[in-house]
Chain A
Amino acid sequence: MENYLSIFTEYDIPGAFWVNIQLTFWAAIGALVLGTILALLRISPVGSFQAIGTSYVNLIRNTPLTIIILFCVLALYGQLGFVLSSDFQNNFFRLAVLGLAVYHAAFVCEAIRSGVNTVPLGQAEAARAIGLSFLPAARMVILPQAFRGAIVPLGNTLIALIKNSTVAAVGSVATESSSVMKTMIEFRADIVIPIFLTFAVGFVIIVIPVGLLTTWASKKLAVAR
C-alpha cells in the first residue's frame, strides 16, 4: 500500500489530468465554433455549402483521431514547419488542440443537426414569413431551439472528447495523463495494475459529473412543446 501511495508523491497525477482538462476545454470551444459553422453549412439552402459541410463531416468523422493528431505533428509541424507557438512544448499542446477540435467538430455538427431536427418545420416557415432570411432565422429561431434539443448528444461528444484528449500523447504532449501513465509503468513495473486503475478511476471521476450535468441541463432546458 505504501509502495502504491509513493507514486502520488513521485508523479504529478492531478497535474496530468489538469492537462487533459485544458486540452478538452480549448478543443471543446474550437469544436463548438467549427461544428456550428458546419451545421449551418449543412442546413443552408445553398447546394455547394451543403456539399462542403457533408464532405468535411464524412472525411473527418471517418478518419482515426490518432492519424489526425499524428498528421498535425509529423506533417504540419515536422515537414511543413507550421508553428502555433514559439514555445517548443506549447506548440505541441496547440497542435493537439487543433487536431482534437477539427476531429470533434464533425461530431458537434451532427449533434447540432440532430437538434435542428427537433425544431418543428413551422418554426422555420414562421421565421421566413416574418421576413427573416436564412442567417437571421438560424440565429434567432432555429439554433437556439436546436442547441436546447441537442444538449445530450453534445454532452456525449464532450465526454468522448475528454477521453480522446489522451490521444494527444501521440502528438508529443508528454505531460497529459496517458503519457505520465506510460512513464510510471516504465519505472514502476511492480505496480502496473494499480497504476492503470488509478487512471481509470481518475477519468470516471471527471466524466461522471459531465454526464449528470448534461442530463440535468437537458431536462431543465428542454423546449416545452
Chain B
Amino acid sequence: MRKTRFGTVAAMAAVAALALTSCGGSGDSEADGDKIRIGIKFDQPGLGFKDGDNYTGFDVDVAKYVANELGYTEEQIEFVSAPSANRETMLQNDQVDMIFATYSITDERNKVVDFAGPYFVAGQDLLVPADSDIAGPEDLDGKNLCSVTGSTSAQKVKDNYAQNTNLQELPGYAECTTQMSGGTIDAVTTDDIILAGLAAQPAYKGKFKVVGAPFSEENYGVGLPDGTDKCADINAAITKMIESGEWQKALDKNTEGTGYKPNAETNPPTLSDSCA
C-alpha cells in the first residue's frame, strides 16, 4: 500500500514537473526574422494603449521610432501585451524581443534582464481633482489615497506616508480614477506621466490635474533579454529621437491638455552607449 502511494505521488510530481517545463519552454518563439515583437502595456492611456486595432501612447511612439532605426518598418512590428508581473518572464522565455512598458530600471530586475535607455525619467506624483488644494505628499494627512496593488508607488506610500494617509489598493488605475470621480478618494499616486495619461482621457478632461511635485525618480528603460548586444543601437536611436525633436513631439502629443511638464532636471535623459 505504502509503496503504491509513493508511486502515485512520484507520478504526480513528474506530471507537475512536465507541465511546468512545458510552460517555461520557448516553443512559441517566432523564428522568422522579419518581425520584431515589442511588449507594451495595453491598458495605460497616454503610454501604451490598445484602441481597437491601433496602439497609442508615448511608449508606443518611442518603440516605433526605435524599431524604425533598427531597420524595421511599422508593418513588421508586432505589439504584445506585457503586464507588469510578466515582463521578466516574457523576456527570459523569448516571447518578446524588447519591452517598452513603463519599465523602471532596478537592480533586482537587472539581474535577470538587460536594459537600454532610459528613454524617460518619471517621478512619483499625485493626481487630484481639479479643484483640490493638495500640493504635494505633505498635504496628504488624513486623506484617502489610491494606487495599484503591488506597485512600487503603493509600497513607497506605505514606507513613507502610511502613518497619516489611508491607502486604498485597487487592481488598476482605471478603478482608482473611478473611485476618485465618485468622491471617496482624494488623490491617486503613481509615476507622473502615467497620471498625465489618465488625466488626458476624454472622460476626465478638465476634471483632474497632476500636482507636479514628483518625489521619486523612475528611469524607464527598454527591457531586453539578458546578454543582448542591442543596447548601443537602441541608445543611439533614442538619442537621435531626442535630438531631432521627435521625442518632445511624442511627449506633447500624448499628454496634451493636461498641463503636464516632465521634470526638466532629468528630462530628456542623456544616454551612454552601454546597457544601463
Instruction: List A residues at the B interface (Cβ < 8 Å).
Output: 70, 73-74, 77-79, 81, 88-89, 92, 169-170, 172, 174, 179-190, 192-193
Contact = CB atoms under 8 A, between A and B. Distances in A.
A182 B155 CA distance: 11
Interface in B161-175: 166-171, 175
Interface in B139-173: 144, 149-152, 154-155, 166-171
Contacts of B113: 189
A81 B179 CA distance: 11
B9 interface: no
B182 A186 contact: no
A73 B146 CA distance: 13
B85 A185 contact: yes
A121 B189 CA distance: 62
A186 B150 contact: yes
A89 B108 contact: no
A136 B10 CA distance: 52
A223 B184 CA distance: 52
A158 to B, nearest CB: 23
A81 B169 CA distance: 17
Contacts of A182: 85, 149-150
A81 B184 contact: yes
Interface in B98-116: 106, 108-109, 111-113
Given A74-B178, A183-B155, A187-B152, A170 B170 contact: yes
Nearest to A87: B166
B221 to A, nearest CB: 13
B201 interface: no
Top 4 A-B residue pairs of the complex, sorted by shortest distance between their CB atoms: A182-B150, A88-B166, A174-B169, A183-B150
A89 B155 contact: no
B179 A78 contact: yes
17 contacts: A77-B184, A78-B182, A92-B168, A169-B171, A170-B171, A172-B168, A174-B169, A179-B169, A182-B150, A183-B150, A183-B154, A184-B150, A186-B84, A186-B150, A189-B87, A189-B111, A192-B85
B88 interface: yes
Contacts of A174: 149, 154, 167, 169
Contact of B89 (A77, A169, A183, A192): A192
Given A79-B182, A183-B155, A185-B150, A190 B111 contact: yes
Nearest to B179: A78
A192 B85 CA distance: 9
Given A81-B184, A189-B88, 11 more contacts: A74-B175, A170-B171, A172-B170, A174-B154, A183-B155, A185-B85, A185-B150, A189-B87, A190-B108, A190-B111, A193-B24
B219 to A, nearest CB: 15
Contacts of B166: 88-89
Given A74-B175, A78-B182, A79-B182, A179 B150 contact: yes
Contact of A190 (B87, B112, B169, B179): B112
Contacts of A81: 184
B184 A169 contact: no
A192 B109 CA distance: 10
A92 B175 CA distance: 15
Contacts of A180: 150
